[in-house]
């Protein structure tokens, strides 16, 4: 039995928990850390949860060692870089998977169907599994490059709301309400794809 903790119980965290409970009985959801009200989280989830709930801002203060946590799924979107993700290890977890891109060169990115076979459990304690866009684009880019060769590519992603879009956002293109205005902005998807497919470095660009 593998003991798992989820940090951040929003859409990604909750859907991952749902999949675990339905399809993977060898995975135990031992703990959930989210700043939202515990009862509200359980009610919105709609299924029985026997996990321990915490509302701790600093992952370093979480009792992962006492709970024997094998793996933390970092789904909050806040601890994507090495200094933040490492706090889970300092708290006693053995491994960390980040559900978002990471700019830290020390944290490798692995995408299923693209380069996941390069994962080394002996040395990879913290990994990123990219973003929704990179998981959609990278497998297609890999196949196209393998069979035809990619000279240049452009990624155009229509994105949903994100919790980073608010009136204090430094990029004014991300500020307006999307119901009233859709303004092209940047995407880091091409950079993440290039990390997993280095042969495409310098060949991809994109907008969101």
Mean pLDDT across 42-57: 85
* Average confidence score pLDDT of the chain: 89
Judge contact between 199 and 137, C-beta under 8 A: no
Q: What is the pLDDT of residue 138?
A: 96
DSSP 60: G
Topology of 132-207 in CATH?
A: Dihydrodipicolinate Reductase; domain 2 (3.30.360)
Q: What is the pLDDT of residue 39?
A: 82
Mean pLDDT across 181-190: 76
**Confidence category of residue 170, pLDDT binned at 50, 70, 90:** low
Domain ranges of the chain: 2-99, 132-207
pLDDT over 90 (residue 116): yes
Q: Is 75 a catalytic residue?
A: no
**Confidence category of residue 34, pLDDT binned at 50, 70, 90:** very high
Residue found by looking up tokens 């660009």 in the block: 205
Q: Where are the beta strands (DSSP E) in the chain?
A: 2-7, 27-33, 52-54, 71-74, 95-98, 126-128, 153-156, 204-207
Alpha helices by DSSP H, the chain = 11-23, 38-45, 64-67, 82-90, 132-147, 189-196
In the set 49, 60, 82, 132, the catalytic residue is 132
Q: What is the pLDDT of residue 51?
A: 92
Q: C-alpha 183: how far from its chain's center?
A: 25
pLDDT tens profile 125-156? 999 999 989 999 999 999 999 999 999 999 98
Q: Closest by alpha carbon to 190, among 136, 147, 144, 121?
A: 136
pLDDT over 60 (residue 166): no
Judge contact between 136 and 166, C-beta under 8 A: no
Cα–Cα dist 94/111, whole Å: 21
DSSP 81: S
What the block records as the tokens of 156 is 């155009």
> What percent of the chain is predicted at pLDDT more than 90?
71
| Domain 2-99 grouped into CATH 3.50.50.60 | no
pLDDT over 90 (residue 198): yes
Inter-helix orientation angle 132-147/189-196, to 10°: 50
Judge contact between 134 and 193, C-beta under 8 A: yes
> Global pTM?
0.87
Q: What is the pLDDT of residue 36?
A: 87
Cα–Cα dist 145/186, whole Å: 24
Judge contact between 19 and 45, C-beta under 8 A: no
């Amino acid at each position: 039995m593998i003991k798992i903790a989820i940090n951040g119980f929003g859409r990604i965290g909750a859907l991952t928990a749902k999949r675990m409970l339905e399809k993977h009985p060898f995975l135990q959801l031992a703990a959930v850390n989210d700043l939202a009200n515990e009862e509200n989280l359980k009610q919105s989830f709609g299924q029985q949860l026997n996990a321990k709930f915490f509302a701790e801002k600093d992952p370093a203060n979480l009792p992962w060692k006492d709970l024997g946590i094998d793996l933390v799924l970092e789904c909050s979107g806040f601890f994507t870089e090495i200094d933040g993700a490492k706090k889970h290890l300092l708290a006693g977890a053995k491994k960390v998977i980040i559900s978002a891109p990471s700019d830290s060169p020390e944290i490798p990115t692995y995408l299923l169907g693209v380069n996941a076979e390069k994962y080394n459990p002996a040395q990879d304690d913290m990994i990123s599994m990219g973003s929704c866009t990179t998981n959609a684009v990278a497998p297609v880019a890999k196949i196209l490059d393998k069979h035809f060769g990619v000279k240049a590519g452009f990624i155009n992603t229509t994105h949903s709301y994100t919790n980073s879009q608010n009136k204090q956002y430094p990029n004014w293109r991300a500020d307006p309400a999307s119901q009233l205005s859709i303004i092209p902005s940047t995407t880091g998807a091409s950079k993440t794809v290039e990390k997993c497919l280095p042969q495409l470095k310098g060949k991809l660009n994109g907008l969101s």
